[in-house]
Chains A and B, each alone.
Chain A
Amino acid sequence: MNYMESITTGQVLLALVLVCIALYLSFYFKVNLEKDILVATIRAFLQLMLIGYLLTFIFNLKSPIYTTVMIFFMAGIATYHAGKRGEAVQGSYWISGIAIYGTTIITIGILSGFGIIPYEPQMIIPVAGMVIGNVMNAASLALMRMHDELKDKQNQIEAALSLGASPRQAANPAIQKAIQISMIPVIDRAKIVGIVSLPGGMSGMILAGASPLAAVRFQVIIMYMLLGSPFLTVGIAVALGYRQYFTKFMQLKL
């Protein structure tokens, strides 16, 4: 049995020493974060325990149906969060939903359809979790940015409409800005990966005893997935999103 499998509750509790240091510093500098730290400590423990038991349950079922249900459930939570953060955009919930579910289905479909990652709960659920968490941020960032751009550039957009532009043409600068802004962090992360940061998944694999090269091969797959999938989400979100700002008579409504 390797180290990972042998971690005891006692060892977990000993790690609380690190939390105590945080508590002491918060108290010492009077930054008033003691309560937040305690809540975060307890929540992290409970949530992770819960997900641990849930994953154990699903892994043991070994049923593609339950795996799919689990993935759809995660996408649902992400949709809710992205929709809420992008609430300024009319219809942000269903737009985020189509973007996130669409991306998840296509990405996971490609990964397991091409046999890159087997459709087994131990493999596909963590991978889907990474995809979904990643595209959730991209979707809400893109929607919020597009909203701000359309608002700020109202004069230019109406000028474009009055010069005969379609809503798509008039909104194009805002659409481009939204895609750029939401994709820059994704692309930057891919550029520096392995140099500045070791991805969590790879660290985890090495900790779990995989050879660095095996971990790297897997990580490259993950990075390409994390590079492509947000683009898909953002594309779907803004393509649906900008339409909410125009009437059928090509009028800008804010």
Chain B
Amino acid sequence: MAQDPIIMMNHVGLIKTDHRGRMISVLKDIKLSVLSTEIHALIGPSGSGKSSILRLLNRLEEATSGDIYIEGKTIGQWQVRDLRNKIGFVFQESSLFPGTVMDNILYAPRIRGIKKSKEKSVAKEMIAMVGLEESFLDKEITRLSGGEKQRVNIARTLAAKPEIILLDEPTAALDPASTQTIEQLILNLNQEYKKTIVFVSHNMQQVKRLSHHIAVIKQGETIYQGTAEDFIEQHGEDMSFL
């Protein structure tokens, strides 16, 4: 039996007004179909609209046209809070809160009124999931390396127990060793913890390593949906034509 996609976007458009009040068509015709079991990549040149797509899925913005379905319900049918609890968003690292690793990881649990006595065990569980030592919990965010920050960032999102995880260029600022750790973590989250993953990347090699399906975005339009392998077969690995 064919699986129903957990995320569907049909002809989605997003028009924004810039600071001078001019209308800008950020997304024109986005199609996307993500299965609950998969790692799905969004790839495309800078400014093509990849981050905007993730923002729409987390309802940080309203689409101007088209339909977005999550588990078969339109995004408007969801209570915003339920939607955001289901879909976690890993932003760039600059979105970490000032304070300790523990403060960051416990942000979502505390909002939901976690008992003080449970805090430590939840924090330990999350930090272990991203492969960091327990001793990190008391460290200040400012003292972490880029790779450590990104893992804390992911742990903070995981603590909200999302079923779907959106990651915006999770390895953009990282060296090759940290990149490999994060890639392994993404694979783990999907295979071991059964999370649906949608991530943005500039790197076709990485996309090929991680994803089951990809969507190629160009100037606010989806120009390809399928596997990375098929796309490379048709167009080669050189993305510069985009």
Contacts and interface: CB of A to CB of B under 8 A. Distances in A.
User: Majority SS of interface residues in chain B?
Assistant: mixed
B53 to A, nearest CB: 15
A169 B112 CA distance: 12
Interface string A128-172: 000000000000000000000000000110111111110001000
Contacts of B58: 162
Nearest to A169: B111
Contact of A156 (B60, B95, B157): B95
Interface stretch (B85-93, B118-126, B221-229): B85-93
B144 interface: no
Interface string B74-96: 00000011001100110110111
Contact of B60 (A158, A164, A165): A158
B128 to A, nearest CB: 20
Contacts of B163: none
B59 interface: yes
Interface residues of B, number: 24
Contacts of B107: 160, 163, 165
A112 interface: no
B35 interface: no
Contacts of A252: 60
A158 to B, nearest CB: 6
A155 B157 contact: no
B84 A164 contact: yes
A162 B111 contact: no
Contact of A159 (B80, B85, B95): B95
B97 interface: yes
In which size bucket is the chain A interface? 10 to 19
B197 to A, nearest CB: 16
B60 A155 contact: no
A155 B89 CA distance: 12
A173 B103 CA distance: 14
A251 interface: yes
A250 B62 CA distance: 11
Given A249-B62, A251-B60, A164 B81 contact: yes
A250 B94 contact: no
B156 interface: yes
B132 interface: no
B61 interface: yes
A87 to B, nearest CB: 15
Most buried by B among A164, A250, A251: A164
A31 B112 CA distance: 61
Given A156-B97, A164-B108, 7 more contacts: A159-B91, A161-B84, A162-B58, A164-B160, A249-B59, A251-B59, A251-B61
A252 to B, nearest CB: 7
Nearest to A249: B80
